Structures are given as structure tokens and as C-alpha cells.
Amino acid sequence: MNLEVPNKFKGVLKTAYTAAEVLLRPISRKYDVGEHTYPKELDILAAALSGANNASGGAIGGATSSREKEIPGAKKVLKNGGNMANCLNIQGISYGDVGLLLSFPGQGLGNAAIAAVSNDEQLKKFGKMWAAMAITEPNVGSDSAAITTTARKEGNNYILNGEKIFVTSGERADCVVVWATLDKGIGRAAIKSFIVLRSNLGMKLERVEKKLGIRASDTAAFVLTDCVVPGTDLLGNPEIDVKKGFGGVMETFDNTRPFVAAMALGCMQAAIERTREILSEKINLKDHKTPINKLKAAQAQFYRMEADYEAARLLVLRAAWMADNKVPNSMEASICKAKAGRVGVEITLKCVELCSSLGYSYKELLEKWGRDSKILDIFEGTQQIQQLIIARRMLGKGSSELK
């Protein structure tokens, strides 16, 4: 793969960074303080960026499946497609504000699930809607396979019962992709995802959460009580396949984990660049020739942060490139998410420390980026879960063998 940004995406990337600096940064603190207030400024911006994304072959919340079947006899051409475009866009916009990125109309994480595993009819029906993703439950966090929300087949419909928490864009989205099990006794193979409209009977918004970071983004809790979902709104194969059932549902994460890692990249990049501006008045941060053991402590720390950022960036590009070229990328998606999530928190908080009282003050967005970055190491699978997935892939062990 070529590690340079593809020429066809440079215009879109420039638009994203311009929007981040000119439109998002100025309102970032406003919606951090005014939590749960919908950022009306995003309506016009979202339309403009959506047009640019469509021209590049991708959208912020959409993705192509990394496991689509190859067309027999077709010439194989290595390409940079929708997943790469998404990651570059997401990093650019997150450079402005991650919470505002997550608040863009029509760009929910549920859209990635619909793009990854929906059929043509579902894509036509739901493809233009704003879709949230509902996986986490009160007693089920990182272990997605342990969810207890049930789906019972009744005629041509499914009846869902359960509770979902920490649903990003849950209050604002048009529909929610809900994970539920068809049979608790079978285990993970019985877990399916369902597209649930806000108007479906039995779906109730319980509350909107107050959070440490990404405050511009609403995070909701739902209760499903005999919620009626048409059978046609089940994503993927309705049959329970003990060998493959959960794999199809988990494929969504192979697409979305690089997106979350890209959010961490944008946050890191913003913090690093602002720290460079603040410290450069008194410290030379362009001395890359002197051995690190002879540098001032602040210089050495800053160069380590730059190196960690660059490593994370290249891992994200690799995972996205694999998805665009239909190469299974489950391990690589977890690797980039684990790396970017961990160093994102370390770097943004270290930037706060290096800038001393200015970094901790509301005068700068550094403290906000430090708060925002923490969730990027948690949602879409915690650091520990990513390491577990990586270990399983490297050792060739299943979930029952390595817990």
C-alpha cells in the first residue's frame, strides 16, 4: 500500500480541516458547556460535507464491507475507497471537535452497520436515515456476546424486550440498530441486529446521559417493551448459524473501529499542534538530530508523542486500506483502535501537563481534548477487549479458548 494520502482525497481532506478550524473550533466550547443542546450550525455544514464525501466514494458514518465476495473473473485492482475516505474525513473533522463530529445529522455509527451488512431493499429504505447503534446494556459492557435483550419471532415480526444504554446520538437519530438475541441458550450465534425506527411501538427513550467529554454529542438510554420490528428490518441472515452467526454481526466493528481510531488521531493532532505553538516560544521543537538522551525533558516527551501519533496514523490507514480491498481486517482494526485509543489519552493529557496552567484552563481547548479522548479508548470496544481480540487472532484461538 502507498502510505501517502491519495490525490483524489486531498480536496475532501482540505475541506474537512477547513471546516474543523473555521466552523467547529469557534463553537466547540459553546456546545461543551451547553451539553444536550443541538448544534444547529451543523445542518448546513453536514450537507456540504456530505456532498464532498459522496464525490469521494464515502460518507462519515458509512462504510463498505471488508468481506464482500470477489466477482469471478474480475481483475483485482488495489484501491483506496470509502473506508479510507471516511478515516481521513473523520480525522480532519475531529481536529475541530469530536463531539460535534458525532452530532452530524445522518452520520451515526449505526449507518456503518447498515452499509456493511444490509441488503439492497434495506439500504434503499434506511440508507439516508440517521442511524444510532445500541449494543451496551446495564450489566453488559465490553462483552457484546453476553447481551440479554431478546428478539422473539411472531408471525412476520420480531418482538424485542430489553434495555440499552450509552447509545450515541440516541435522542436525535431517526432509527437505532439494536443488538438482540434470538435464543439465550445458544449463545453468541443467536445474536442479530435489528433496525428499529423511533416510531416503532414499544421503544421508549428513557434518559440522556451527562458525560465527562464529547458533550456536544447526545448519549441516550432506551427501554424496549414488546417492541414490534418487521422481519424485513433484521440485518443480515435471519437463520442461526452456530459457526458463522456472530461473525456477521461483529463485521460491523471491522469497519467502525478504524473510524473511532481516526477520531483519536484528530484529537491527538489538535493537541500536539497547539502544544507546539505554545511551547515553541521557549523551546526548540524542530531539533530532530540531537540524540534523545541529550534533549530537554519537554523536547524528548514531545518527540515521543509525535512518533506515537504517526504510528497510530499508519495503523489506521492500513486497516482502512484492507477494508477497501476486501481483505479481512479484524485483527488490524483492533490493533489500530487499541494503539490510537491508548496513545490518544496519553498524548492529550501530556499536552495539558506540558502547557501547565494554560493547558488546564478554559482559555484553551487542551483540557477539553483531554476529556474527549478518554471515550475513544472505551467505546467500540475497550483497550482490554482489543488486546484480547488481537491475542485470539495471533494465537489462532477462539473466544472459548482465550477469555
Positions annotated as catalytic residues are: 380
The helix (H) or strand (E) run that includes residue 321 is helix 297-324
Cα-Cα-Cα-Cα torsion 181, 184, 189, 195, nearest 10 degrees, comes to: 0
Crossing angle of the two packed helices 82-94 and 42-56, in degrees rounded to 10: 150
Distance of CA 181 to the CA centre of its chain: 23
CB neighbour burial string for 121-134, b if at least 16 within 10 angstroms, e if fewer: ebeebbbebbbbbb
Residue 78 burial (C-beta neighbours within 10 Å; 0-12, 13-18, 19+): exposed
Q: How do strand 131-134 and strand 191-197 relate by DSSP bridges?
A: unpaired
Specify the long-range contacts of residues 234-238, CB closer than 8 Å, at least 24 apart: 234/158, 234/192, 234/193, 234/194, 234/195, 235/113, 235/114, 235/117, 235/118, 235/122, 235/177, 235/192, 235/193, 235/194, 235/195, 236/117, 236/192, 236/193, 238/192
CB 137 within 8 A of CB 149: yes
Q: Tell me the chain's radius of gyration from C-alpha atoms.
A: 21
From the list 227, 229, 250, 249, the residue with the least C-alpha distance to 237 is 249
* DSSP-derived pairing of the beta strands 131-134 and 175-181: parallel
What's the CA gap between 214 and 101, in Å, rounded? Answer: 9
* Alpha-carbon torsion angle 68, 72, 76, 78, nearest 10: -10
218 vs 317: CA distance, rounded Å: 28
Cell 483497550 belongs to residue: 383
Q: Cell 419471532 identifies what position?
A: 153
